[in-house]
Structure 1
Amino acid sequence: MRKSRLALFAAKTAMIISSTLFLTNCNNMTIDQRVDALYDKMSQEERIAQLKSMYMDQLFDDKGQLDTAVCRKMIPNGIGHFSQYASQKPTDANTLRDRVKAVQRWLIDNTPNGIPALFHEEVLSGINTKDATIYPQQIGQACSFNDVLAEKKTRQTATSLRKMGGVLSLSPMVDVVKNPGFNRLEESYGEDAYLSAVMGTAFVRGLQQGDLKKGVGACAKHYLGYGGGGNADEKELMEEILLPHETMIRLEGCRALMPGYHAMRDTNCVANSWILTEILRGYLGFDGMVVSDYTAIDQIPGLTTPTEKAAAAINAGNDVDFPHGDNYKYLQEGLDCGLVRQEAFERAVKDVLRYKMRAGLFDNDAYLYSDEKIVL
């Protein structure tokens, strides 16, 4: 028994020393150099874990306590994201923060490289949690034509979410919606591409605050042509449908993007290399993180196995599998049989690590959550 305890202590000490040395040795390195160095240190299991997600509640018992046995079983190599962590149950901000704190401390202290997770949430009209300030839906904000007020609103949202441990939002929605019967019309800024671009850019500016170490990352969605435009000709697509996304990326450095559920030119957006690689990363120069809409990879037609679906998505340019990572857990199988390209896999892992470094999660003074009482 004593030997097993000593072995466990030695293993934990080695993890802490390894993480500390990584932080210390990276002070004079660029973010990309740090990403490369960390990637090289990681096991293949850790790399795959960074591309998956889960719900935070899965790790807590009925009394709201972190179940470390469940953690050891479900996330021994870490995890990339926690899905919509604030809106799953009616929980107050301080309880949410305490749960985020418990999870992050466990990840830092008990996984091989101590990599913190990204907690994300929807914030189209504020944080969807108990006692939070809720603002008008985006269609109502667009009716104001007031981008200054829109920026002020999202700045307040970002400040509150960051206190609760959130570092990524799944917002704004900048689909140019021309069909009044579209079932998510209220989440958009309407049918005008220029107005959507102006309001969306203000949203990103207020949310990210020019620095992901203190702000919250914005995620442009639903790329490209959701709500109408999936069959647009190239002129309409490039000059109108793309405009809000292009403006947010070029002017404000929007750091994340979510492909839509729909198809663009007969290929689902989440597995469409033309829009995710050629246009997004090529033409727009996007160097952020691409995340799937919830279960979008499951919905890729014409493919029968999760391995095939995972390969189609990651090869096309999608980095992360939301909300459970059900398909990306087969990435190793895809790599072994040649379906998943190694360069696509490496790109995806490094995109996630780069986002985490931009958000300051590896810094010695990392702002993972607020230690003060939170009042929303």
Structure 2
Amino acid sequence: MKNTITLLYSFILCCSVAFGQNSSDKNTIIGKKVSDLLAKMTLEEKIGQMTQITLGTFEDKGKPDLVETKLAEGIQKYHIGSILNTPYPYAPTAKGWNDIMTAISKVSNKTRLKIPVLYGIDAIHGASYTQGATLFPQQIGMAATFNTEIVKKGAEISAYETRASSIPWVFSPDLDLPRNPAWSRIWESFGEDVYLTSRMGEAMISGFEGGDIGSKYHVASCMKHFIGYGSTTTGKDRTPSIIPERVLRQFDLPIYQAAIKAGAKSVMISSGEINGTPVHASKYLITDVLKKELGFPGVVVTDWKDIIYLHTRHKVAESNREAVKIAVLAGIDMSMVPENYSFCIDLLDLVNKGEIPMSRIDDAVSRILKMKMELNLFEGTIADSKLYPKFGSPEFIKEAYNAAAESITLLKNKNAVLPLNKNEKILVTGPTANSMVSLNGGWTYTWQGDKTDELAGDKFTILEALQNKAGAANILYTKGADLMLENDQEIENAVTLAKDASKIILCLGEKNYTETPGDISSLYISASQIKLALALSKLNKPIVLVLNEGRPRIISDFEDKMDAVIQCYLPGNEGGRALADILYGDVNPSGRLPYNYPRYPNSLEKYNRKYTESLATDEQNDDAKYQRSYQPQFEFGTGLSYSTFTYANLKIDKTEINATDEIAISIDVTNTGKLAGKESVLLYLSDLYASITPEVKALKRFEKINLAANETKTVHFTLNQKDLQFVNNDLKWVSEKGTFKITIGNLSQQFLLK
């Protein structure tokens, strides 16, 4: 069997190479097929292709059974082109998905043109809506690996297992650039840096699509949420943003440019508004910028109910009909309606009355049909389980474990309190210590991830992983606190039990959430958890703080009393095992923060802040000296190891360059510790003076290397002219003559652009 599988993969690889050589011919053939099919379609059939409906619409109310008459209404009467979401009440097995897709296919095959339904799913950190699938860290944790190969491999496995579920389209990656750490979707992003997000997004798209989305092992990706979604002024989901276009173009747009270049087949539009215009209503952003300026050839889909919300929430349309008109003319190709057929009815009326031209409909439908053909949906959509022997396999689980191990970030290790000794008695306490929900967060089996303890019961929580590692006799446990409700008895139990332990592992974090249910009014970690931390700190025993959280909740009330701090983010189903191995020293931690961890709720500066954000005038001081105001709890890029790494011999090949030169950089990195370890080498660039106030520093390159004890490696980087540029007030990318500084570790070199 093993040889058969090897031959199968070799065949697939050869086919992929052949496709790459003949992609132009294939595009021509697909283009002709799309034109021919479009010519046969009625207006009603075209509008149906632009309509996406949630699966629950076709279920028997409150039951996980599809009703054939309801499916027939959607697919045969309204000709809907796409379905999304999970059945009630939670994710099925791969076989369950195949049964659902078979039922849908039977109905679509009875239609006049037999156009297959395109199914989309929120495969956010693996095939997270399929039971038994391999679940990786959420995106923020994947960013913390600073390892694009891990991200690509994770996406490949996710694509494989999603296709095994007969689903060809995933609403991922999330390319939002969060500007407020309170935002409930920060953990779905790759963090606060443009360059890091761009590289991770490219890797994820490459893993999902594999160069040929028609393969049985790859899917179409959907970059989201175009654009500015993570920049809400309130920090709450789906609330307004104020973003000058110069800022949007310099920091947000390059991420989507990179994703389009990487081949992303579709894009989901932001639910928010920018400067008073909902993005779903912006012809400038969707058509002029995305489709024309960036040349995006794929499918533009709305987010949940967002055309309807132009009328009911944003109040820019006086009726649902007007909302449909605004959004379709803005450039929307597919409406995630998703619970009725109002979009079909209103759009048909708008076209028949000449308010929306047929050319706009044909453009949208051509994009949708093209993606369906590229996915080979016309050749069948149901997966053959025999072709997916690695689904949920030990091989795939090992990759998820490796991702979790490289993501977990050691932020503090006072007096080398870590790693632990397996023979010492440890108290494990805190509300996230014995919870699979806390390891995974939202978009896990259900929208809010609330069934994970039940559906991932065969996986290890942090407590279970530590008991398995060190033996139950050496691990004491009590919950210690609830996530939100204060419970003095729980705290008293933890304090009492701690007296029998030599060290304390304190597991704190957040409740599971995503989107609007995750909105918060305070960035501080909850009062119940602060109270537990302070009570334990009075025992004068070493405390290791373990954080399971989707965003950086402020811990400054007690961080100074912690001896070690570990940020786990949301590490997925293998996170408990990975953490246990790190705590006991079997794995050397190598994660790095992909965002600034704030110390105060009114000091939320990003690492690439402006110089004026680093200073504040002390009005009480007679000589008006400046005091530093930039004091994050931990800065972007922070990440400790059980080894030590030394940087030396930072070299650049030129000290003066002209407007066309590249600059080559090299640096020697040595592991001066006793353990092998992985080190992310980060290169920052500073433009010392510019006509637009420059950033203090900006990440421009990174590479993760593995070093044995006492080993030295030379790392090479190349910067080009684009790296020196910024967007000026004329909205042009420019570089200006002057001095630039390269910083790697504690070393820096300057060069002059003439």
Deviations 1:69-112 (A, max 9, x none): 3333332153211112368623211111122022113212x101
CA distance in 1 between counterparts of 2:225 and 2:27 reads 37
- Cα pair 2:308 2:320 within 8 Å, conserved: yes
Cα deviation for residue 340 of structure 1 reads 2.1
CA distance in 1 between counterparts of 2:28 and 2:117 reads 22
Q: TM-score scaled by structure 1?
A: 0.86
CA distance in 2 between counterparts of 1:101 and 1:242 reads 40
Question: Where does residue 175 of structure 2 map in the other structure?
Answer: 174
CA distance in 2 between counterparts of 1:325 and 1:369 reads 29
SS at match of 2:332: coil
Q: After superposition, where does 1:1-376 map in structure 2 within 5 Å?
A: 30-60=29-59, 67-77=67-77, 78-85=79-86, 89-108=90-109, 110-129=110-129, 130-214=131-215, 215-228=218-231, 230-250=241-261, 252-300=262-310, 301-322=315-336, 323-324=338-339, 326-329=341-344, 330-363=346-379, 366=380, 368-372=382-386, 375-376=391-392
- Cα pair 2:105 2:117 within 8 Å, conserved: yes
SS at match of 1:297: helix
Higher-RCO chain (CA-CA 8 Å, sequence separation at least 6): 1
SS at match of 1:30: helix
Q: Identify the range of structure 1 (54-63 vs 208-217) with the bigger mean alpha-carbon deviation.
A: 54-63
Deviations 1:211-256 (A, max 9, x none): 1102111111110111118433333212211111110101x11110
- Cα pair 1:308 1:339 within 8 Å, conserved: no
Q: Identify the range of structure 1 (192-201 vs 75-84) with the bigger mean alpha-carbon deviation.
A: 75-84
SS at match of 2:46: helix
CA distance in 1 between counterparts of 2:66 and 2:243 reads 49
Distance 1:142 1:58, change over 3 A: same
- Cα pair 2:174 2:189 within 8 Å, conserved: yes
- Cα pair 2:50 2:365 within 8 Å, conserved: yes
Question: Where does residue 23 of structure 1 map in the other structure?
Answer: none
Distance 1:87 1:186, change over 3 A: farther
CA distance in 2 between counterparts of 1:31 and 1:38 reads 10
> Based on CA coordinates, which of the two structures has the bigger radius of gyration?
2
CA distance in 2 between counterparts of 1:293 and 1:311 reads 17
- Cα pair 1:218 1:255 within 8 Å, conserved: yes
SS at match of 1:82: strand
CA distance in 2 between counterparts of 1:86 and 1:242 reads 35
Identity within the alignment, %: 28
CA distance in 2 between counterparts of 1:84 and 1:318 reads 20
Q: Which amino acid aligns with 1:153?
A: G
SS at match of 1:76: helix
CA distance in 2 between counterparts of 1:117 and 1:315 reads 24
CA distance in 2 between counterparts of 1:141 and 1:169 reads 17
Distance 1:114 1:310, change over 3 A: same
Q: Which amino acid aligns with 2:146?
A: F
Deviations 1:105-135 (A, max 9, x none): 3212x10100111111112211222222211
Superposition RMSD on alpha carbons, in Å? 2.2
CA distance in 1 between counterparts of 2:259 and 2:382 reads 25
Q: Which amino acid aligns with 1:298?
A: I
Deviations 1:6-34 (A, max 9, x none): xxxxxxxxxxxxxxxxxxxxx99621221
Q: Which amino acid aligns with 1:51?
A: M
Distance 1:290 1:324, change over 3 A: farther
SS at match of 1:49: helix
For structure 1, the 5+ residue unaligned runs are 1-26
SS at match of 1:312: helix
CA distance in 2 between counterparts of 1:61 and 1:308 reads 32
SS at match of 1:97: helix
CA distance in 1 between counterparts of 2:340 and 2:205 reads 27
CA distance in 2 between counterparts of 1:87 and 1:171 reads 22
Cα deviation for residue 324 of structure 1 reads 3.5
- Cα pair 2:72 2:107 within 8 Å, conserved: no
Distance 1:358 1:306, change over 3 A: same
- Cα pair 2:55 2:87 within 8 Å, conserved: no
CA distance in 2 between counterparts of 1:240 and 1:87 reads 39
Q: Which amino acid aligns with 2:123?
A: V
Segments ≥4 residues shifted beyond 4 Å: 60-66
SS at match of 1:35: helix
CA distance in 1 between counterparts of 2:377 and 2:387 reads 21
Q: TM-score scaled by structure 2?
A: 0.44
- Cα pair 1:173 1:188 within 8 Å, conserved: yes
For structure 2, the 5+ residue unaligned runs are 1-25, 233-240, 393-754
Q: Which amino acid aligns with 1:69?
A: T
SS at match of 2:308: coil
Cα deviation for residue 65 of structure 1 reads 6.0
- Cα pair 2:56 2:88 within 8 Å, conserved: no
CA distance in 2 between counterparts of 1:370 and 1:106 reads 20
- Cα pair 1:50 1:349 within 8 Å, conserved: yes
Q: Identify the range of structure 1 (97-106 vs 189-198) with the bigger mean alpha-carbon deviation.
A: 97-106
Distance 1:267 1:371, change over 3 A: same
Q: Identify the range of structure 1 (74-83 vs 285-294) with the bigger mean alpha-carbon deviation.
A: 74-83
Q: Identify the range of structure 1 (210-219 vs 366-375) with the bigger mean alpha-carbon deviation.
A: 366-375
CA distance in 1 between counterparts of 2:70 and 2:284 reads 40
Q: Identify the range of structure 1 (56-65 vs 91-100) with the bigger mean alpha-carbon deviation.
A: 56-65
SS at match of 2:306: coil
- Cα pair 1:86 1:121 within 8 Å, conserved: no
Distance 1:265 1:32, change over 3 A: farther
Q: Which amino acid aligns with 2:51?
A: K
Distance 1:64 1:303, change over 3 A: closer
